[in-house]
Structure 1
């Protein structure tokens, strides 16, 4: 596990985002808060299902904004396994009303982020066991308004976050090519405005399309929706054909990859395996927050 603190990646705006979540959850009267009042209480964060702990900075910031103190008993990135019971993952102290104001926002974020980190780590380990030495990456199929948390979870789980948004790199998919007229025209137009500092990736359905993309100057070629054997044949052929021709390109595969079939896609010629299975429809890690009594 990295010794770096992933929280240092977060932009200052994440605090404003969290303030917005709290506003959304209590847009007017806090009836439950009226009931419990301001008495000082201690609450325990329990982990009740196995998974990677991720999303700690978001959890901390929720309660910081509400004037509460949080002490985590495990480090972010650790794998927690309650083995059918529950683990005391953190202690939260503050006014009862504030603890309950932050409870659901903090739990939802932590549970979702931990679920993505767990799925990411699982897929990476499966690929490594199969001998894959390349990059396992997520995709941009993230939830609007929640992308930061989901991409963060991928990183904590050991996966590459891939491009963060449309501005992070150029991804020319079939619709871009059809709208432009050709892969060559699309790549040339993109390079004109993206300059030298932004990578250009092209989604390709065949070796011929891959060759055209490489010739046009693409930095990354995505072999989309190839089956395992077809992928290995195509990737090997492309790499051999362009070896020594002064074209440095990465090959990526994507489309339908899951933990159940990722081993069939592993081959030395593929530099990047990308999948949405590590963040779409992933199971949450079960956390609960209970006031001590």
Structure 2
């Protein structure tokens, strides 16, 4: 899978309302009076964005928009998706921001919080992509919907910058029938039939399965994607191969492995019959990349 960065400007993917999300960050951080801004006033200043830990830069459009809404200008020294290291100085100049002192400080924390998390996700995504490529595995590394409420657009964007698949963006993107759906409906077959009656031909249906027997039922019911959940690596590869052999020339479907996957344990899951591996760990407990924004003293 080609990185989105090699195919065009990733900011062109963003929905029409993404700038309102950025506005909400500023509203949240200054709900009433800006006391600190009153202190520093509106003298024109320059602030340097330093990267203080190695990582992949992600979140440039959101960072730019924070300061655009505050009347500031950002000048980048490295590009979106570029890997950087702080070097012997312990910090790498990543960008410069020009604007009024109080506006720089209004945007500082929302912009840094976003950039730190987005870059952390992109960095982990890049490492997972490198593990996949090193293993010569032809399947797809994907994220999950285990994202931060109100912050999903940034986290999914960061996955793309890091070179992995976003999986479904929301409940409307694909029908995923998990254990609770099946228990509430009564069976896998009934759940798939109900889903198909509303989703029609255009929306794919994925079914979470705990065994090959459940996978058989899902395939025969017409599921497009079979998620083999919480299998160990050898077990996933064996079950995936069995299913592909059993339905060769009869049914078309993808096999996804999920459940507890990390950088450290993924190697045994790279099976030839496995099409997708999805990682909640791309967004959960991901280390952030440390950045700071320092207003430069007047000379």
Please report the TM-score for the alignment, with normalisation by the length of structure 1: 0.98
The offset of 1:277, in angstroms, is: 1.0
Q: Select which of 228, 233, 238 maps to 1:233.
A: 238
Aligned to 1:34: 38
Measure the CA separation in 1 of the matches of 2:75 and 2:178. Answer: 46
Give ranges in structure 1 of 5+ residues lacking alignment: none
- Where does structure 1 differ by over 4 angstroms across 4 or more consecutive aligned residues? none
Measure the CA separation in 1 of the matches of 2:33 and 2:260. Answer: 46
CA contact (8 A) 1:73 1:89 kept: yes
Q: Select which of 2, 22, 40 maps to 2:6.
A: 2
The offset of 1:12, in angstroms, is: 2.0
Range 219-228 or range 2-11, more displaced: 2-11
Measure the CA separation in 2 of the matches of 1:21 and 1:230. Answer: 44
The offset of 1:228, in angstroms, is: 1.0
Secondary structure class of the residue paired with 1:208: helix
Aligned to 1:243: 248
Range 156-165 or range 128-137, more displaced: 128-137
CA contact (8 A) 1:59 1:106 kept: yes
Measure the CA separation in 2 of the matches of 1:128 and 1:238. Answer: 25
Aligned to 1:21: 25
Range 126-135 or range 40-49, more displaced: 126-135
Q: Select which of 99, 102, 105 maps to 2:104.
A: 99
Secondary structure class of the residue paired with 1:46: strand
Q: 1:177 and 2:216 equivalent?
A: no
Aligned to 1:146: 151
Q: Select which of 151, 162, 166 maps to 1:161.
A: 166
The offset of 1:131, in angstroms, is: 2.1
Measure the CA separation in 2 of the matches of 1:169 and 1:18. Answer: 27
Aligned to 2:138: 133
Measure the CA separation in 1 of the matches of 2:259 and 2:180. Answer: 16
Secondary structure class of the residue paired with 2:223: coil
Range 59-68 or range 78-87, more displaced: 78-87
Please report the TM-score for the alignment, with normalisation by the length of structure 2: 0.96
What's the C-alpha RMSD, in Å, of the aligned pairs?
A: 0.8
